[in-house]
Amino acid sequence: MKAIGFQTSLPITEANSLIEFESEKPVPTGQDLLVRVQAVSVNPVDYKVRKSSLKDKMQEIPKVIGWDAVGIVESVGEAVSLFKEGNAVFYAGDITRPGSNQEYQLVDERIVGFAPETLSIEAAAAMPLTSLTAYEILFDRLRLSKERDQGKSVLIIGGAGGVGSIAIQLAKKLLGLTVIATASRTSTVQWCTELGAHFVVNHTNLVEDMASIGHAEVDIILDFVDVNQYWDAFVALIKPQGQIGSISDPAAPVNLRQLKGKSVSFHWELMFTRPMFFTADMVRQQEILNIISELLDNGTLKSTLTTTLKGFSAKNLQKAHQLLESGKTIGKVVVSFEGDS
């Protein structure tokens, strides 16, 4: 089968930053599904791993990444009970295993959901990783509920990004929160507004802009950009007994002691935790993906697909990585395996 990977960490502009190669088609055992991949989307984790995991190293067999996919179950392991051959599925995978940038991929059934029936494969491929991340941080980490938290305010840092785009929708439609998102360009402000944000503020003057809209303090802050960059603002803006959640990778320590006076809680979210550690509730990711699939099919959630590249090729994946590394993308970039490459 065809796969695309890298042997060493190179700038994406270099020809061999991603290469095409032939690999053996894997065979599923245990609770693994063998999925024939139809489309993948690219996330910041893709280029972060590509840029750092094989730095100053040369690996003989290329490393395959990719953590979003839509496809068809080709065959199943002997312990599989949740799926059968022919099922259309979507998932975000496991960072410790070979990724979705290959024609066939093994993935544990417990982190796979049934693909939405009303969306194109490209629109569906845009959703798993960001939806899991947004849903987990809201419902599994901060443990919010509409019954208890409706009417509270949430500040979403990075509203136009992949995770922020889903969090805006979930926070408004499932929790009834007052949603404030950050964005700095006309196009990103419009995007956040169309997704349902009640207010959009500029991240460069966060404390001042929040005061100008009548929200000098908020109940909840979700950081999808850089906890170090905004930490002082978070300390100032969070209400007593509020909650802060983050997915970012801080380059320096954060002073949690600054939250003690307000009795504020801080929560990390990493979507890969459950499959990485085979947690007892690993199947929760399948449950969440099936919820997301239903929300997409009934129109509660909108796919965040904005760019489709046709054809499974190193050239298209390189282009997708370049788009994300520019820091100017809105929504999600998807590579469809069908079409000209």
Amino acid at 64: V
Share of the chain above pLDDT 90, in %: 96
Q: Give the start-end residues of each E strand in the chain.
A: 2-5, 19-22, 32-42, 69-76, 88-91, 104-108, 112-114, 153-157, 178-182, 199-201, 218-223, 238-246, 265-268, 305-310, 332-336
Burial label, 147 (beta-carbon count in 10 A; 0-12, 13-18, 19+): exposed
C-alpha pair distances (Å), 258 with each of 28, 160, 265: 49, 29, 11
Gap between the Cα atoms of 135 and 31, Å rounded: 24
Question: What's the rounded Cα separation, in Å, for the pair 332 and 124?
Answer: 11
Q: What is the CA radius of gyration of the chain?
A: 20
Structure tokens at 199: 């207010």
Over residues 276-316, the pLDDT tens digits come to 999 999 999 999 999 999 999 999 999 999 999 999 999 99
For the cut 80, the answer to whether the pLDDT of residue 76 exceeds it is yes
pLDDT of residue 56: 86
* Mean pLDDT of all residues in 318-334: 94
Compute φ and ψ for 184, nearest 5 degrees. -125, -15
Residues 39-48 as b/e (b if ≥16 CB within 10 A, e otherwise) read: bbbbbbbbbe
- Identify the residue whose tokens are 């997301």: 292
Whether the predicted pLDDT of 155 surpasses 80: yes
Classify the C-alpha dihedral 202-203-204-208 as positive or negative: positive
Q: CA 181 from chain center: how many Å?
A: 17
pTM: 0.96
Average pLDDT, the chain: 97
Which pLDDT belongs to residue 202? 95
pLDDT at 123 (0 to 100):
98
Write down the pLDDT at residue 327. 86
Find the helix or strand (DSSP H, E) in which 123 lies. helix 121-125
Contact 154, 221 (CB under 8 A): yes
Rounded CA-CA distance 166/132 in Å is 9
pLDDT value for 341: 53
Q: Which pLDDT does position 328 carry in this prediction?
A: 85
Tell me what pLDDT residue 339 has.
76
Enumerate domains of the chain plus CATH numbers: 2-127+280-336 (3.90.180.10), 130-268 (3.40.50.720)
* Residue 340 clears pLDDT 80, i.e. is over it: no
- Whether 59 has a pLDDT exceeding 70, the answer reads yes
Please say if the pLDDT value at position 143 is more than 60.
yes
Distance from first CA to last CA of the chain, Å, rounded? 16
Residue 215, pLDDT > 70, answer yes
Q: What is the predicted pLDDT for the residue at 130?
A: 98
**Region 119-137: what's the mean pLDDT?**
98
Contact present, 35 and 25 (Cβ < 8 Å): no
Give the residue-averaged pLDDT of 37-66: 95
